[in-house]
Amino acid sequence: MSRLYVESRGSGPALVLLHGWGLNVRVWDTLGAALEDRMRLIALDLPGHGASPWHAECADAHRQVQWLGGAVAEAIGGEPYALLGWSLGGQFALAWAAAPPAGLAAPTHLALICATPRFTAAPDWPHGTPEARLLRLAEGLRHDYHRTVSDFLDLQVRGSAGGEAALDQLRAALFRHGAAQPEALAASLELLRTLDLRAVLGAIGSPTLAVAGQYDRVLLPAATRALAEALPHARFAQIRRAAHAPFLSHTAEVADLLSEFLSTS
């Protein structure tokens, strides 16, 4: 299997960072600058995103988690680590914590930003996004890839204090480091449409922090709250006047939350 793109910065306990749909490791630069004097940050481009390769046979969540875990195991060896996932990366982080990839122990701590065990709505999951919205997004990718990605970036910050600056950072991440491959975006969107991790939440023993943005229009804050309530050892925090990328619009507040959480046993 080809190597995924990995960056390491800072010193201290290891924190692995998994970004969201369509983005890359550059979205962590601002948060990383706030944390690098307190911990070692290991950021990965998800398969087919940024500088990471894509293999269609690894489109399912389990294989992607194994691929990501192999890259982390190579980077940190047997060192203990915490795991942070945002949005799609949060779903990978949940699957990872429930069944750690080969060669890795469970994370010492699990941090989830704007994450959910199930993205689409269902009769027993009213917190999800209507499936039709994801189908429209998939159709947009086929007909106007660049506009669809641009519109999604805008949606992630809409309603947030500091939203324009956060949007600039999202766009800069794509410009500086590279957009995701269309095939990877389509496959990841299908994962968001179909993946349901509620059945494995009880297997997650790691202390967990679940963070939501008050004005998130991509993922209802209620979904992240329900996630925290379903996990065995989780607490919920909501960032006021933030949207889907609170670590960009409210960096200091999120950094302090993470530092306090990761320092607890």
Q: Nearest Cα to 259, choosing from 82, 106, 26? A: 82
Q: How far apart are CA 201 and CA 19, in angstroms?
A: 20
User: Which are the contacts of 40, defined by CB distance < 8 A and separation ≥ 6?
Assistant: 8, 9, 10, 11, 12, 13, 14, 15
Q: What is the pTM of this model?
A: 0.96
Residue-wise pLDDT tens digits, 144-190: 878 888 888 888 888 888 888 888 888 888 888 988 899 999 999 99
49 is a catalytic site residue:
no
Catalytic site residue from 19, 216, 249, 250: 216
Q: How far apart are CA 242 and CA 238, in angstroms?
A: 9
216 is a catalytic site residue:
yes
Catalytic site residue from 49, 244, 249, 250: 244
Binning pLDDT at 50, 70 and 90, where does residue 233 land? very high
Residue-wise pLDDT tens digits, 106-151: 999 999 999 999 999 999 999 999 999 889 888 988 888 788 888 8
244 is a catalytic site residue:
yes
Question: Quick one: CATH architecture of 6-262?
Answer: 3-Layer(aba) Sandwich (3.40)
